[in-house]
Amino acid sequence: MNLRVTNGLILYSKKKMKTNNIIVAISFLFISSLKAQVLYSENFENYFVGDVGSDSSGQTSGQGGWFTSLF
């Protein structure tokens, strides 16, 4: 490792810094290109106004197959 000490500070060589900058730039480009896959989406626009489910015991499904329960 090419280190130089000046006034109590440790300075890396320019080659080491350039290598680190390239690794950071490539990592940033790779990470920013990742996309997530949507597995399930629900918008609740087609449901009636009110509760999604009327059975608070969680035994009977309500609108859209959703189950509601009280804790």
Q: For position 19, what pLDDT does the model report?
A: 83
Domain assignments of the chain as residue spans, ordered by start: 1-35
Q: For position 47, what pLDDT does the model report?
A: 82
Q: For position 6, what pLDDT does the model report?
A: 60
Residue 65's region, left for phi above 0, alpha for psi from -120 to 50, else beta, is: left
DSSP E strands in 2-71: the ranges are 3-6, 9-12
29 vs 15, 33, 41, 63, CA distance in Å?
A: 21, 6, 28, 43
Q: Is the pTM of this model over 0.75?
A: no
| Residue 28 one-letter amino acid | F
d(CA 17, CA 19): 5
- pLDDT single digits (tens) 24-56: 888 888 887 778 788 888 888 888 887 788 787
What confidence category does residue 9 fall into, taking pLDDT thresholds of 50, 70 and 90?
low
